[in-house]
Structure 1
Amino acid sequence: MVEDRTVMRGRVTVYSVPGCAHCIQAKATLRALGVPVCEVDVNKHRELRARLKELTGLSAVPQIFFNNLFVGNNEDLQNLVRQETDPERLERLVLSVREDPVPLDAPPVPEEHSLDSDGELDGACELSEALRNLILQLYSDHLSEDGKRVDYKAMSRSPFFERYCDLAVHLQRVDLLSLSREEKLAFFINIYNALVIHGNLRLGFPKNIWQRYRFFNYVSYFIGGEVYTLQDIENGVLRGNRKGVAQLLKPFSRNDPRLQVALPDVEPLIHFALNCGAKGCPPIKTYTSQDIDSQLRAAAEAFLENDDSCVIDSAGREVKLSQIFKWYKADFGGSDEKLLNWVFEHMGASQKKRTLQALLSEGKVKVSYLPYDWSINSTD
């Protein structure tokens, strides 16, 4: 029987990230139990990430608390529901949330104004933050809960989208050379994902390989006095000026002023943050320069936990991965062995990781790649 939430005095707190399959399952299970859930996106509320690690010793998500009682992750929650060890524990937990108010030592949740706590920033950082806040509003209004689908029609009519378009014109005055590595990562990831949506709304979604080639090589923003296409942002800036898929040359030549903006090294984790508008891509969300590496690591963990992106076949001694790992294999070490080690090292603590560890300890493992869904990530 689903409980009446209006009589519940406590709360269940779920720390999660968008696109995490285990987070989505956990929240669905809790909704079925009828308990009041307070969801905290640890990517959005970065000030709570370190505190959470202190409380639990864990960085993977989801992490679930009934009032101040730490239940564990999604696997632990499902075990509770199946009543495999203590049949009465779940009933006691739900009863505590119904009858007991949130205690003072309950895990922290963000305050209403925490997203805007950074204050004013100067120059490139100020514009970047203003754009990020508009993007955040658009995503909040027009993205699915898992961050995988976009309501393009509704977004095109949004006054926030019009404000974003007006503000994007000012990108031409950004001093990119003043940005740190962390600021560049957050700035260009956010701009890339917004530019893809902007391009789809203005030009339509590319439907075949030739349209995709044109889209990613021609859709662009004028930033800091130079033109940056989607290809330039991904492969020129974020991958340290590496050749992209089907590219014969590096994006920036030796005398190209944009080369000064490129990051010195390839950043493999950006592949789990960039969304090209297809259903096979990682979820869309915004990133901030503070703690950017932890945010990207969390995105990688969520991506690898999703069976659409990573499947471990114990019987066949095979690991099936997203095509992203094939296209950018050099970024992950270049060989199957190095790729598998990278995947293992960037998985969150889970049964899937334990299964992969067992396979790797037993010897050679085959790597194959899953089909990529190029259909548009629209809610329609």
Structure 2
Amino acid sequence: MSRWTRNLLLLTRQARILSQVRLTHVAPIGYLQCSNPVLLDNFGRREVFVCRRGHATWVTAEDMDYKGQILVYSILGCPHCMKSKNTLQKLNLPYTDINLEMFPQCREPLKERTGKRTVPQIFFNATHVGGNDDLQNLVKDKSRLQQLIEDVKFNAPPPEAPVPPDPSTAVVDAGSGNFVCEPDEYVQLVQELRKSGLIGDHWQGIRVHHNSFVGRDFVNWVVKNKQLERSDAIMMGQALIDKHFGHNIKSDLSFQDNDVYYRLLDDEETHALNAGHMSDCEPQAAIELGEDLRKIILKLYSAFLSPDGKKVDYKGIGASVEFKHYVRLTKELQRVQIASSSREEKLAFFINIYNALVIHANIVRGPPDNLWQRYKFFHTVKYIIGGYAYSLQDIENGVLRSNRKGVGMIRRPFSSSDPRLKVALDRCEPLIHFALVCGARSCPPIKTYSPDKVDEQLRVAAEAFLESPDGCEVVMNNKTIYLTQILKWYQEDFGKDKAEMVSWVRDHVPEGEKRNHMSELIDGKKYKVTFMSYDWSVNS
């Protein structure tokens, strides 16, 4: 027995017991406080998370004498990573989890070593097994698997094996959604406006504008009560619009000193999930609020996704403290400053919000279970964002697809006069289809995205999904390429015809046998495309 093992066993006797804790809920390297071993009773299985060379490592009592190492390069919340680690746990194999978000310096060396951008990447000592699919194939090859296990058990890592990074170089997260409110000075003005008697039902011809006020009346009220010039009163009215406290009923973005009607945001008749009393905080930039929300979402995904990353524990999320924190923070979306954000900021922001909105709606409204309910779900489930309501369809087709018609839509989401059109991307981004998760089993796995890495993260998400049998399969015997229905529904985003779409897919499948087979079929120009059936059952 090694000295490390003896020390571990001694320390383990003093380790605190955590009952009924699933290992998939334990944070990977960098998030786990590993100064002492933690003994977990995982539904009857005695398991230990320890620090080994400063890294969080999973072991079982019978596997403490391994001389070598199994390394799993992953990112937090990655479904394929979770599935591979779950497989290693079921095999009772100790592994060290290296989170590339916390050790970004490992990304390029890993790519050079493996030729892959996707995660996970798994090593048994110096042997590169590959990703999750490769690991599952290895499990079926019992003879080769046993050879690799014996290599790790009896041999120390050779010089050519990857070396875990120094834990002191980890990029430490500052927190998870630690939102600090800066009070908005215009809150007081809104409160006084509510008491002024200006807000009510106003008739314009045969049409009534409920809970509205008139621009000229507002200016007169400010001039009288604040002792200001009309020009200053108009500027105050404009500030209410710019800060998203209210807006012109007809969507004009300017405040006017005439018979134009305005309405405060929390007087809008909407069923948006974050509707109600407006936030009293100064509006945040999208990049700041988006990061606060992303951190909370990441914690929820990490804790309540199944080991394979394809199922969501909606009941668990709904009862969690983190979800209550998330719901409170969605109020800040009402007045977030999004229009001036960069393309990358909008991409990451709206993808994360879309996926979180689906989960939020499934928790509070329940998932749709037929065609009509799905149509209603995607058109009526909404958040108020930057002063305006956005449905799931608005986010996907209006913003991220640059105002293109979606499936079954007869017109574009945003008209030429719609103020939300200014938020839409300048061009459609096809990679979003491998990041948006509609809540069905056939959707891509759930992840979160950050503005500074969003393009790379989207490429990796596309590669991972198309590498899996859910996204693309190639059968050479009958020269058939099987593709996800997503590519059929949004074919125009991937090329002007089916041939261009197939070439796009080939170019985004990772290097390997599947890509080579696709190239062979495309070059021979004799192949057929079949779209796989789509499983709309809820991913819970």
TM-score, with normalisation over the residues of structure 1?
0.87
The separation in 1 between residues aligned to 2:376 and 2:448, in whole angstroms, is 26
Q: Which residues of 2 match residues 22-171 of structure 1 at below 5 A? A: 27=85, 30-31=88-89, 34-40=92-98, 42=100, 48-67=106-125, 69-74=126-131, 82=141, 91-96=150-155, 106-108=163-165, 114=171, 116=173, 123-171=285-333
User: Higher relative CO (CA 8 A, sep ≥ 6), structure 1 or 2?
Assistant: 1
Q: Which residues of 2 match residues 266-277 of structure 1 at below 5 A? A: 266-277=428-439
Three-state SS of the structure 1 residue aligned to 2:329 is: helix
Provide, for residues 52-82 of structure 1, a one-character-per-residue CA deviation record: whole Å limited to 9, x for no partner. Answer: 2244443244422335x25241477656984
Contact 1:65 1:107 survives alignment (8 Å): no
Three-state SS of the structure 2 residue aligned to 1:108 is: coil
Per the alignment, do residues 29 and 218 of structure 1 end up closer, same or farther by CA in structure 2, a change over 3 Å counting?
closer
Partner of 1:249: 411
Is 1:174 the counterpart of 2:336 in the alignment? Answer: yes
Contact 1:240 1:263 survives alignment (8 Å): yes
The separation in 1 between residues aligned to 2:450 and 2:438, in whole angstroms, is 20
> 1:65 corresponds to which letter in structure 2?
F
Which of the residues 469, 473, 477 maps onto 1:307? 469
The separation in 1 between residues aligned to 2:330 and 2:144, in whole angstroms, is 55
The separation in 2 between residues aligned to 1:102 and 1:141, in whole angstroms, is 36
Stretches of structure 1 lacking an aligned partner (at least 5 in a row): none
Structure 1 residue 362 displacement after superposition? 2.2
Partner of 1:289: 451
Is 1:321 the counterpart of 2:483 in the alignment? Answer: yes
Three-state SS of the structure 2 residue aligned to 1:146 is: coil
The separation in 1 between residues aligned to 2:469 and 2:152, in whole angstroms, is 30
Q: Which has the higher strand share?
A: 2
Contact 2:68 2:154 survives alignment (8 Å): no
Three-state SS of the structure 2 residue aligned to 1:339 is: helix
Provide, for residues 256-286 of structure 1, a one-character-per-residue CA deviation record: whole Å limited to 9, x for no partner. Answer: 1111110011111100110011111011111
Contact 1:40 1:109 survives alignment (8 Å): no
Structure 1 residue 177 displacement after superposition? 2.0
Structure 1 residue 114 displacement after superposition? 3.4
The separation in 2 between residues aligned to 1:239 and 1:232, in whole angstroms, is 9
Which of the residues 191, 214, 219 maps onto 2:376? 214
Three-state SS of the structure 2 residue aligned to 1:39 is: strand
Q: Which has the higher helix share?
A: 1
Per the alignment, do residues 242 and 367 of structure 1 end up closer, same or farther by CA in structure 2, a change over 3 Å counting?
same
Structure 1 residue 336 displacement after superposition? 1.7
Partner of 2:386: 224
The separation in 2 between residues aligned to 1:82 and 1:125, in whole angstroms, is 47
Per the alignment, do residues 277 and 86 of structure 1 end up closer, same or farther by CA in structure 2, a change over 3 Å counting?
closer
Partner of 2:510: 348
Partner of 1:205: 367
The separation in 2 between residues aligned to 1:295 and 1:359, in whole angstroms, is 29
Per the alignment, do residues 115 and 164 of structure 1 end up closer, same or farther by CA in structure 2, a change over 3 Å counting?
farther
Partner of 1:264: 426
Three-state SS of the structure 2 residue aligned to 1:7 is: coil
Which of the residues 341, 359, 363 maps onto 2:525? 363
Stretches of structure 2 lacking an aligned partner (at least 5 in a row): 1-59, 180-283
Contact 2:66 2:153 survives alignment (8 Å): no
Partner of 2:248: none
Partner of 2:210: none
Structure 1 residue 125 displacement after superposition? 1.9
Structure 1 residue 83 displacement after superposition? 8.4
CA RMSD of aligned residues (A): 3.2
The separation in 1 between residues aligned to 2:339 and 2:395, in whole angstroms, is 15
Is 1:377 the counterpart of 2:436 in the alignment? Answer: no
Choose 43-52 or 237-246, whichever is displaced more: 43-52
Structure 1 residue 46 displacement after superposition? 5.1
TM-score, with normalisation over the residues of structure 2?
0.62
Three-state SS of the structure 2 residue aligned to 1:4 is: helix
The separation in 2 between residues aligned to 1:171 and 1:315, in whole angstroms, is 52
> 2:396 corresponds to which letter in structure 1?
E
**Seq. identity, %:** 47
Provide, for residues 316-371 of structure 1, a one-character-per-residue CA deviation record: whole Å limited to 9, x for no partner. Answer: 11111111000000011031211111111001123222222222222222111111
> 2:116 corresponds to which letter in structure 1?
L
Contact 1:3 1:34 survives alignment (8 Å): no
Structure 1 residue 84 displacement after superposition? 8.2
> 2:512 corresponds to which letter in structure 1?
S
